[in-house]
Amino acid sequence: MASDTSLMAEESFLCSICLELFNQPASIPCGHTFCLQCITDYWDTLKFYPKPMLLKSCLVCFMSYCQTHLEPHQSNVVLKKHKLIAPVKNLESRICKTHGEPLEWFCRFDQSFLCESCKGGNHKKHVIVTLEEEAQMRKTQIETEREKTHHMIQTRQKKMLEIQDSLKASQTDADKALARSSHLMTAITDYARRSHAELCEVIATKQSKVEEEAKRFMQDLEEEILQIQQKNLHLNDVSLTDDHLTFLENNLLLTFSSAEVKDWSEVRLNCSQFANQEALHELETRIQREIDFMCDPTFKEKQRHAVDVTLHRDTANPFLSVSEDGKRVAHATQINFLKLKQEMFDSVYNVLAKEGFSSGKFYYEVEVKGKTQWYLGVAKESINRNGDIRLSPKNGYWTIWLRKGNVLTANAVPPINLQVRAIPTKVGVFVGYEAGQVTFYDVHERACIFSFTGCAFTEKLFPFFSPCCRQPTYIKTPNHWQSL
């Protein structure tokens, strides 16, 4: 049975709030001691009385003190040697589990906390500093990193403002472009309407003059017909008698004179004044072409004729490498001359597609972004694939090509240097077989680059490509882009 003395001693270690042994004991100004969490929770329930503030925690006493109870640690010579830190709730976490001593050191090699006894163990050759030194060093690092991140944030915020300003400027330019285009189209429409009205009036006036001229011609012809008919009647009267003497007497009195009539063989109505219909058709074609170069309104309809195009590696020059899916061609890293085939291009870096077309319409797109030189278009099936090849329609090639990164040329006869707002990064190719048309588009601008027209196709056409340099060329399928 426990004695009264032992019971009193045991009670002195019990918290009067939770009635358990002290857990992180804390003394308050009145001298009583409680668990730190118990007294903190209790103080949190008080509404009318100020709660004492814990100013320090002692790593030797494992206690937290208010100002009154902290006074001995500030005046007693022995207690002054105790390690005081800012008040914490869990003092046990500051104690070495091996030696039961305060954790006051930090091993930079093992990145671990040490007590005084730990320093003499496996950490002798390690770099060991006080917690204050390590904390200060890391605070400095954090501050440096904070400054760096702050600078990064500022840089990106500045860039965001630049992008926002650029977006506003772009929107302003877009609005101006829309306004200009709307004004231009309205002006063109109004001018065309006025011109049409004037043209109708001119045509009507000309037609009236033609009608008046025709009326005069008809009147003259009628008068001459009447005059000729009268003479004819007179001749008939002379020739009606059967009496030869009488006939000869009348005939001798008859004067044979030509009728006063015109030579109508070269007389024509002036209808050539209406030949301007051909000029109007040429004007219509020219206007459509100029609009197409700005933005072809039929471009989306052309895209509806998209076909799946794959490269035919059996036609590729041996110095070219075609990807397994047939969607990319580039210069080969290894050349296998044992795989040479008759249908290959033997001297120039060309390749054809597997798919050929001999009727209808078809469209495909080619990614050429980042390349400084390329050829593309269509070629007929019977083209020459040996030796140096001249790209032109008379040799069976309808192509355009880029040189030096900024020189765009249509390989017509003679070649035509093309003027574009920007070098295209994706080219669309549209072919109308029966119409004899091969048109190249800047896909992003939806604008026509060049068009071969009036072509007479008589055999199968194949998409044609040449990367010309080491950047790869990508082929677009109807649904998505593929690349390796």
DSSP letters of 127-175? Answer: -EEEHHHHHHHHHHHHHHHHHHHHHHHHHHHHHHHHHHHHHHHHHHHHH
* Residue 479 burial (10 A CB sphere; 0-12, 13-18, 19+): exposed
> CB-based contacts of 402: which residues, under 8 Å, 6+ apart?
368, 371, 372, 373, 374, 408, 409, 423
Helix 131-239 vs helix 244-253: crossing angle, to nearest 10:
130
Q: What would the DSSP string read from start to end of 305-335?
A: TB----B-GGGS-TTEEE-TTS-EEEE-SS-
Return the top range by mean pLDDT from 25-34, 181-190, 234-243, 368-377. 368-377
Confidence band (pLDDT; 50, 70, 90) for 134? very high
Confidence band (pLDDT; 50, 70, 90) for 408? very high
> CB-based contacts of 269: which residues, under 8 Å, 6+ apart?
210, 213, 214, 217
Confidence band (pLDDT; 50, 70, 90) for 148? very high
| pLDDT (tens digit per residue) in 175-199 | 888 888 888 888 878 877 887 788 7
Confidence band (pLDDT; 50, 70, 90) for 11? low
pLDDT at 1: 43
pLDDT at 275: 57
22-26, 74-78, 335-339, 394-398: least confidently modelled range:
335-339
pLDDT at 480: 35
Strands 25-27 and 63-66: parallel
Please compute the mean of the pLDDT values over residues 229-245 and round it to a whole number: 77
Q: What CATH number labels 299-476? A: 2.60.120.920
The rounded distance, in Å, linking the Cα atoms of 401 and 415 is 10
Contact 312, 353 (CB under 8 A): yes
Residue bearing tokens 């002054």: 80
Task: Indicate the residue type of 292.
Answer: D
Q: What are 417-421's contacts with CB under 8 Å, separation 24+?
A: 418/449, 418/450, 420/447, 420/449, 421/445, 421/447
> CB-based contacts of 290: which residues, under 8 Å, 6+ apart?
none
Please compute the mean of the pLDDT values over residues 325-343 and round it to a whole number: 77
Task: Indicate the residue type of 401.
Answer: W
pLDDT at 401: 93
Is 8-94 CATH 3.30.1490? Answer: no
pLDDT at 389 over 90: no
The rounded distance, in Å, linking the Cα atoms of 366 and 169 is 31
Q: For the whole prediction, is pTM greater than 0.85? A: no
pLDDT at 110 over 80: yes
Q: Residue 318, preceding bond cis, omega within 30 degrees?
A: no
The rounded distance, in Å, linking the Cα atoms of 322 and 344 is 13
The rounded distance, in Å, linking the Cα atoms of 418 and 442 is 12
The rounded distance, in Å, linking the Cα atoms of 180 and 448 is 21
pLDDT at 233 over 50: yes
pLDDT at 481: 33
Closest CA to 443 of 268, 306, 239, 288: 306
The rounded distance, in Å, linking the Cα atoms of 102 and 83 is 9
Please compute the mean of the pLDDT values over residues 397-402 and round it to a whole number: 95
Contact 481, 474 (CB under 8 A): yes
The rounded distance, in Å, linking the Cα atoms of 424 and 415 is 19
Domain ranges of the chain: 8-94, 134-258, 299-476
Confidence band (pLDDT; 50, 70, 90) for 150? very high
- pLDDT greater at residue 6 or residue 277: 277
